[in-house]
Chain A
Amino acid sequence: MKIKTLIKMANSIGDFFNAESDKELAANGVKKHILRSWHPRMRKELIAYYEQDGSELSDLVKVAVSGLESV
């Protein structure tokens, strides 16, 4: 998958949950959404990107992705 597509998708999910002032809750919302709707290979590629670079991910998404594997 094109990583740019995955980054865009993840950041747009982050944009929705960013309205939540409790950022832990917001990050959990992003994480749960990705976990429940993304094919595992897409998650794996996003996690790999986050671990290698991650610069294009929003701060909220970074927090969410950092917790993805442990779920």
Chain B
Amino acid sequence: MSINKQQDFGTPASTATEQVTLEIDGFKVTAPAGTSIMRAAASIGIDIPKLCATDSIEPFGSCRLCVVQIEGGRGMPASCTTPVAEGLKVSTQNQKLAEVRRGVMELYISDHPLDCLTCSANGDCELQDMAGAVGLREVRYNPVETHLHAVKDESNPYFSFDPSKCIVCSRCVRACEETQGTFALTIDGRGFDSKVSPSQNEAFMDSECVSCGACVQACPTATLMEKSVIDHGQPEHAIVTTCAYCGVGCSFRAEMKGEQVIRMVPNKDGKANHGHSCVKGRFAFGYATHKDRITKPMIRASIKDAWQEVSWEEAINHAASELKRIQAKYGKDSIGGITSSRCTNEEVYIMQKLIRAGFGNNNVDTCARVCHSPTGYGLKQTFGESSGTQDFDSVMKADVILVMGANPTDGHPVFGSMMKKRLRQGAKLIVIDPREIDLVEKSPHIQADYHLKLRPGTNVALISALAHVIVTEQLIDENFVNERCDVASFDKWKTFIAQEQYSPEATTDITGVPAEQIRAAARLYATAGNAAIYYGLGVTEHSQGSTTVIGIANLAMATGNLGRDGVGVNPLRGQNNVQGSCDMGSFPHEFPGYRHVSDEQTHRLFEDAWQAELSWEPGLRIPNMFDAAMDKSFMGLYCEGEDIAQSDPDIQHVHAALRAMECVIVQDIFLNETAKFAHVFLPGASFLEKDGTFTNAERRISPVRKVMSPLAGYQDWEVTQMLANAMEYPMNYSHPSEIMAEIASLTPSFAGVSYEKIDQLGSIQWPCYDQASVGTPIMHEETFMRDNGKGLFMLTEYVATEERVTKMFPLILTTGRILSQYNVGAQTRRTENNAWHSEDLLEIHSHDAEDRGLKTGDWVGIKSRVGETVLRALITDRVQPGVVYTTFHFPESGANVITTDNSDWATNCPEYKVTAVQVSKVSQTSEWQEQYQVFSDNQLELLAQGSQHD
């Protein structure tokens, strides 16, 4: 193994199809028109010296190091900004060029510390490399004034900024602008005074910087440097793996020193992220070795007892024995399991296999139950497949982008940056959200054309109103509908949606959105060219989540915005493997590949393959499991990687259900909230400690590769396999690749997927039907995946949620997440990301705050019909009057103490986004929070007691 640095071609690739041929240093080279001479040279192994150029950003032509000479041309043009042309004859090396380059380098080095041997970039410094490349042997200047004593900025927890080493090449500034789209950096001053400045000469942490790392990545010197490299030195080998955070699924090079991760560097070849990253994936990996990691199996008889560390064998045998005992006492259906989107595909697959074949029931569910299960249902019904239709790159061809109930710059930041780039290029933007997300007008050079600021819970009314305009103003793509869709269903839908009751004017009282705005947005969506819809949990986590997904599908079909680049319906999945965990058969009614358990052919296929009699009936969903626990019919749970005791709604009910169970087995890397109710703890492995695959929101199956040994000794799939064998259902996989081979053999859409092909291609987007296929970036290009190949229109009647505002509960609480923290926070709370967000806050509009005498920082009680919690207030006009908002990253916040058990009609996805509440000023935490603190402290004490017995 070696660090095997990725080649830097100096400038971005050209997308032109026309090819031109030229000669560089006597070698013929053919390149797409628009390619720089620098890149064309690099493509044949000729490295032209450079400093201000790097292939992730547009060329700048400032350093003058990359000058070349062109036969018949004048002067010495910069090769980074000079495009190739037919017949050019270019010289990259000659005496004249060498003299110019040495002169340039001499000037740079005259104002640069000569501390190479002790510099953190030693071995990875382009300035050092260039000094060598140009043959710099002396510096004749002795400047009176230098920048050598400029003060370091150490404010960012992950990287330092040492201006004494800065050569003012502007790569960081351009990366912040072009790659990230934050524009936090600038070059302040002129001439000698020029310097890189975060915002208005502020410290990085006080600036708009979002710590994505693009500037660090772009810096050619040690000016912007990871603190981990400063502390530990340069990494010596790299392994490509996939981020374990959001559904973008960024590809990273884990740069290592032995088994220690020195830094995570975004992979330029990653097809989801193209070398970009966010603060979580780039820097927040320290949780993997956090002191809170539990690395020994533990058991206990009751949650009032201290934990007892035991051997793996004892823990597994105890868990199996308890599950068998419960089944003997309460029946076969009395146990089940919950998988997680944090698990790999292979882990999820064998977990559901264990439950279906080993437990003998279909009581398996996954955390997609509480996020994107309506996507699975709605898109399966209308398009025939439970997945988004596009690849991420498709957004670069969109002319109008409709973002509904999603906050890409916070929830899916790397894709958010790509979307921002397209918007800066001129694509139109429609935002449908009760809250003013950054894309509306807080992102530099971006302004939403329409922000439809609807009332929470009225998505269906709004989506129907948009459809009404499209139908009644004859904006339908008749050709697409007639050729690609089920025409009978379209005719019925058209008649339905054209009714006056669905008009913008008739629904404005419901949605709170002015009718003319809806009409204008509908016209824009239907007529501006390629229109793409991106949506998130603000669509799905409603009592009509599935209906809204169906409404979105109807809109896309009616306007012909499917089946090609730049269009489509794109669910932004919350976690890294939401898509994969659903694909792998985690839902209680579906085998892998979304095939119903009662489908005879599929059922027999799996019975034969798994050598077990399988249930023909759907199993229990997560909320059903809780209800069944309360009536003593569901008494044993195997929960891997999911923290239901924090993430699920009406948390007091969840806690009561967990307390009612006789055996809760938790497999996790930390003693998470759910583990505090557990009887068996099986220590899990972080994504850095295992092999497998994740499938991101664009159906891209990417490799997860072990870069360090599992701290507890086993990868998670091995633990599940041990439990299966102890349950007397034999499993004998020796590597996850064998599990993938089994998945491929049983699932048509994965038939052509293998580890060999993933390694060869880097990633594969399913469907991938055979060995010859390289996957499917865009779905439904010719036909839809339904049996008859036609898209199905469905009726979308608006039904108001039962969660109504009243005098007692006059405000609507809605929830979301923030850039620096991730879901329940188990990972990011154990990193320096707390520097950005150390507690959940309640956002409240100034009018509502004034009515209640609140100011920012006050403790406020938030009371719903099911519970009460206390947070600090943040007064902001981002939320509209009548709406309050919070994140849910900290267990002590108790956001889910107040959410209700209302759920989506089709899938039981909780209605997190609509809870009627009252907010008032208080002086102390809530009763629930006090009880939680006592319980949590007690559980940590019981953990400590167990460790002491060792």
On A, residues with C-beta under 8 Å from B are: 1-2, 5, 9, 12-13, 15-16, 18-20, 33, 36-42
**B269 at interface, CB cutoff 8 A:** no
Asked if residues A20 and B795 are in contact (CB atoms below 8 Å), the reply is yes
Residue of A nearest to B495 (CB): A21
Inter-chain CA distance A20–B630, complex, in Å, is 36
In the complex, which of the residues B333, B496, B618 contacts A38, with contact meaning CB atoms closer than 8 Å? B618
- Tell me which residues across on chain B come within 8 A of A41, comparing CB atoms: 333, 628, 633
Binds A, one of B184-192, B515-523, B619-627: B619-627
- The contact of A16 among B619, B633, B905, by CB within 8 Å, is B905
Q: How near does chain B come to A48, taking the closest CB pair, in angstroms? A: 14
Given contacts A37-B618, A40-B617, contact A13 B633 (CB under 8 A): no
Give the residue name and chain of the B residue nearest to A33 (CB): B906
B647 is an interface residue with CB less than 8 A from chain A = no
A19–B795 CA distance with the chains assembled, in angstroms? 6
- Alpha-carbon distance A9/B907, docked complex (angstroms): 10
Does B796 make an interface contact (CB < 8 A)?
Answer: yes
CB neighbours of A40 from chain B (8 A) = 617-618
Q: Given A41-B333, A42-B624, are A36 and B598 also a contact pair (CB < 8 Å)?
A: yes
The answer, among A1, A16, A33, for a CB contact under 8 Å with B631, is A1
Interface residues of B in 539-555 (CB under 8 A from A): 543-544, 546-547
Instruction: Tell me if A1 and B628 are in contact (CB < 8 A).
Output: yes
Q: Return the contact of A1 from the options B547, B627, B796, B905 (Cβ within 8 A).
A: B627
* 12 A–B pairs (Cβ distance < 8 Å), ordered by A: A1-B631, A12-B905, A15-B799, A16-B546, A16-B797, A36-B598, A37-B618, A37-B906, A39-B363, A40-B617, A40-B618, A42-B624
A12 to chain B, nearest CB (A): 4
- Nearest CB to that of A5 among chain B residues? B627
A15 in contact with B797 (CB, 8 Å): yes
Q: Is the CB of B543 within 8 A of A12?
A: yes
Determine whether the beta carbon of B905 is less than 8 Å from that of A13.
yes
B895-925 contact mask (Cβ, 8 Å, vs A): 1 or 0? 0000001010111100000000000000000
Closest to A13 in B: B905
Q: Smallest Cβ distance from B131 to chain A, in angstroms?
A: 67
What separation, in Å, do the CA atoms of A19 and B493 have in the docked complex?
Answer: 10
Instruction: Chain A residues near B598: list those with CB within 8 A.
Output: 36
Q: How far is the CA of A5 from the CA of B631 in the complex (A)?
A: 13
Q: Which residues of A contact B543 (CB under 8 A)?
A: 12
In the complex, chain A residues whose CB is within 8 Å of the CB of B907: 37
Contact yes or no, B905 A15, CB < 8 A: yes
For B589, the closest partner residue in chain A by CB is A37
Complex alpha-carbon distance, A60 and B544, angstroms: 18
B266 partner residues in chain A, CB cutoff 8 A: none
Contact between A16 and B547 (Cβ–Cβ < 8 Å)? Answer: yes
Collect the chain A residues with CB atoms within 8 Å of residue B496's CB. Answer: 19
Mark interface residues in B528-545 (1 if CB within 8 Å of A CB, else 0). 000000000000000110
Is B596 an interface residue when CB atoms closer than 8 A count as contact? Answer: yes
Q: Are B796 and A39 in contact (CB under 8 A)?
A: no
Chain B residue numbers with a CB within 8 Å of A38 are: 618
Q: Which residue of A lies closest to B802 (CB)?
A: A8
Q: Which among B596, B621, B624 has the highest number of chain A CB atoms within 10 Å?
A: B624
**B588 sits at the interface (CB 8 A):** yes
Distance in angstroms from B648 CB to nearest chain A CB is 15
Q: How far is the CA of A20 from the CA of B331 in the complex (A)?
A: 40
> Do B627 and A39 touch (CB < 8 A)?
no
- Contact present for B619 and A39 (CB under 8 Å): yes
The complex places the Cα of A36 from the Cα of B597 at a distance, in Å, of 9
Residue interface bits B588-620, CB-to-A below 8 A is 1, else 0? 110000001010000000000000000001111
* Contact A13:B906 (CB < 8 A) given known A36-B598, A40-B617: yes
In the complex, the chain A residue whose C-beta lies closest to that of B795 is A19
Residues of A within 8 A of B619 (CB): 39
- Nearest Cβ distance between residue A35 and chain B, in whole angstroms? 8
What residues of chain A lie closer than 8 Å to B546, measured between beta carbons?
16
Chain A contacts of B628 at CB under 8 A?
1, 41
Could you tell me if B627 and A19 are in contact, using CB atoms closer than 8 angstroms? no
A2 to B650: give the CA distance in the assembly, Å.
15
Extra 5 A-B pairs, beta carbons < 8 Å, given A12-B905, A37-B621: A2-B630, A33-B906, A36-B598, A37-B589, A37-B618
**For residue A2, which residue of chain B has the nearest CB?**
B627
Contact of B588 among A5, A9, A16, A39 (CB under 8 A): A39
A39 touches B906 (CB 8 A): no
Q: How far is B68's CA from A37's CA once the two chains are assembled, in angstroms?
A: 68
Q: How far is the CA of A18 from the CA of B544 in the complex (A)?
A: 14
Q: How far is the CB of A39 from chain B (nearest CB, A)?
A: 5
Q: Which of B618, B797, B799, B905 interacts with A39 by CB under 8 Å? A: B618
Evaluate contact between B589 and A36: CB separation under 8 angstroms. yes
For A38, the closest partner residue in chain B by CB is B618
Give B770-812 as 1s and 0s: 1 = Cβ < 8 Å from A's Cβ atoms. Answer: 0000000000000000000000000111010000000000000
Rounded to whole Å, the gap between the CB of B407 and the closest CB of chain A is: 27
Chain A residues closer than 8 Å to B903, beta-carbon distance? 9
B-side contacts of A39, CB under 8 Å: 333, 363, 588, 617-620, 624
Of the listed residues B631, B905, B907, B908, the one surrounded by the most CB atoms of chain A closer than 10 A to its CB is B905
Please determine whether B547 and A9 come into contact, CB atoms closer than 8 angstroms.
no
The answer for the CA separation of A19 and B496 in the assembled complex, in Å, is 9
Report B467 CB to chain A, min CB distance, Å: 13
Q: Which B residues from 28 to 70 make CB contacts under 8 A with A?
A: none
Q: Which residues of B contact A42 (CB under 8 A)?
A: 624
Shortest Cβ distance from B544 into A: residue = A16
**A16 lies within 8 A of B906 (CB):** yes
| Nearest CB of B to A8, in Å | 8
Closest 6 CB pairs of A and B: A19-B797, A12-B905, A19-B795, A15-B799, A40-B617, A1-B627
How many Å lie between the Cα of A40 and that of B797 in the bound state? 28
A19 to B630, CA, bound (A): 35
B844-859 contact mask (Cβ, 8 Å, vs A): 1 or 0: 0000000000000000
Most buried by B among A5, A15, A39: A39
Most chain B CB inside 10 Å of its own CB: which residue of A5, A12, A15: A12
CA distance A37 to B598 in the complex (A): 11
The minimal Cβ–Cβ distance linking A7 to chain B, given in whole angstroms, is 12
Once the chains are docked, how many angstroms separate the CA of A19 from the CA of B333?
Answer: 35
Which A residues touch B796, using CB under 8 A?
A: 19
Question: How far is A16 from B619 in the complex, measured between Cα atoms in Å?
Answer: 23
CB proximity of B23 to chain A, nearest CB, Å: 67
- Distance A13 CA – B617 CA, assembled complex (angstroms): 19
A39 to B682, CA, bound (A): 29
Q: How far is the CA of A9 from the CA of B908 in the complex (A)?
A: 8
Rounded to whole angstroms, the CA-CA distance of A37 and B619 in the bound complex is 8
* Smallest beta-carbon distance B574→chain A, Å: 22
Residues of chain A contacted by B627 (CB below 8 angstroms) = 1-2, 5
A68 to B228, CA, bound (A): 62
User: In chain B, what residue has the closest Cβ to A10?
Assistant: B905
